[in-house]
A and B are shown apart, each in its own frame.
Chain A
């Protein structure tokens, strides 16, 4: 139908105009406390996650799976 295909073209074209992640404008005079900002978000990372702990569920199941063959052979 003419109207349907028109709508489809609109959608396709409107897609072209999307950058989902356009940064929101700051107000021209917007200032903020430079010391406190981002501190929270900056501390939410871990680099010591790669430990030797194999007591989690996944590792326990993995162990079981690997051992099951040993018994068979």
Chain B
């Protein structure tokens, strides 16, 4: 680091203080915003941190001046955060930032207009990111990582400050999405419920008024929650919304949406084209899709095994496993069609033995009783229409539409 003189340090600090107070007093949100972005490591902030180390008495400077002292409770800890961050003391950086953020929030409540919305977005983002860094450090030291949880509490306070009738309410969805990211990271997704309820039922919010970028993010996360809860129709609706309105250049985000949307679509009988899987590198689904198309139970099992870790991590394993019934449907349908080609008059009677044989070929050892049970389930779930001639061990299929399509509905539960 090049040597910085005391005078130069003093100048840089004063410059920062001036910019900060100017921005606040002229209610200039866009100018204030970058002055809060600790994690951005911008050149300005880094050199400010260096200046603070050289000129060590910035707090006195602040308290002595009328111009800055009003904002002292915000600025003093903020400067500490810059300093700590600069030297890699990430836990201190978080603690200091949290203090500053709380002081900022208090002032924010008093400002009637929404001029400071962008700085609030920055604070919401920073508190989460700094908390994540701090928790990683705490965990690596064998200590309890509790900062992200604290950030979550702070974000709830911010949400509260935005949940009113005035113009500030437009920021509530952004804060909600930061909360989602916190809860998903902590694995405490049940906590999403209360913000979701506020957003969706409170009369002050009109979903359509929120910025599109926040709506897309919101639908992605709530769509994922619907997948966890196996509400496939709702999941389809939300994830499709996210897909439809996502910035087409955000390929990473589109990929993530598809990662969850594809299992949902499969559950309602709609298949993605291979082109889509290849373009967005979701080829772990390609064998699943093939298995459904073919009626190939062996391929489905193989696909689930091969990508088990991935599917478990994203939480879609069970959704994909349940596709087995649809694959059975397809297989029996093929057997029926093959029989129809050979002898149309007898095709609607399918011997269980024949199915046992087909399953054996697919390396699935099931006896007649087990197959009977599976056929019964297919009929019960309306994947197959017909009845059972138990004594003769034959499935008698309905002559009309024996294998009803899902038509965009999930399998009956």
Contacts and interface: CB of A to CB of B under 8 A. Distances in A.
Classify the interface of chain A: helix, strand, loop or mixed: loop
B293 interface: yes
B334 A62 contact: yes
Interface string B247-261: 111101110101110
Nearest to B181: A22
B184 A22 contact: yes
A57 to B, nearest CB: 9
Contact of B139 (A13, A23, A37, A50): A13
Interface residues of A, number: 45
Nearest to A27: B213
B245 A65 contact: no
Contacts, number: 137
Given A28-B121, A32-B248, A59-B334, A23 B181 contact: yes
Interface string A20-57: 11111111101111101110111011110110101010
A9 B407 CA distance: 48
A38 B248 contact: yes
Nearest to A46: B271
A51 to B, nearest CB: 9
A37 B248 contact: yes
Contacts of B330: 50
Contacts of B121: 28
A25 B145 CA distance: 24
B221 A47 contact: no
Contacts of B248: 32-33, 36-38, 40-41
Contacts of B256: 21, 23
A53 to B, nearest CB: 9
A13 to B, nearest CB: 4
Interface of B: 118, 121, 125, 132, 135-136, 139-140, 142, 145, 148, 177, 181, 184-187, 212-213, 216-217, 220-221, 224, 240, 243-250, 252-254, 256, 258-260, 265, 269-273, 275-276, 293-296, 313-314, 330, 333-335, 337-338, 341, 354, 357-358, 361, 403, 405, 407-408
Interface of A: 6, 9-10, 13-14, 16-28, 30-34, 36-38, 40-42, 44-47, 49-50, 52, 54, 56, 58-59, 62-63, 65-66, 69
5 contacts: A26-B217, A30-B247, A37-B245, A50-B330, A62-B334
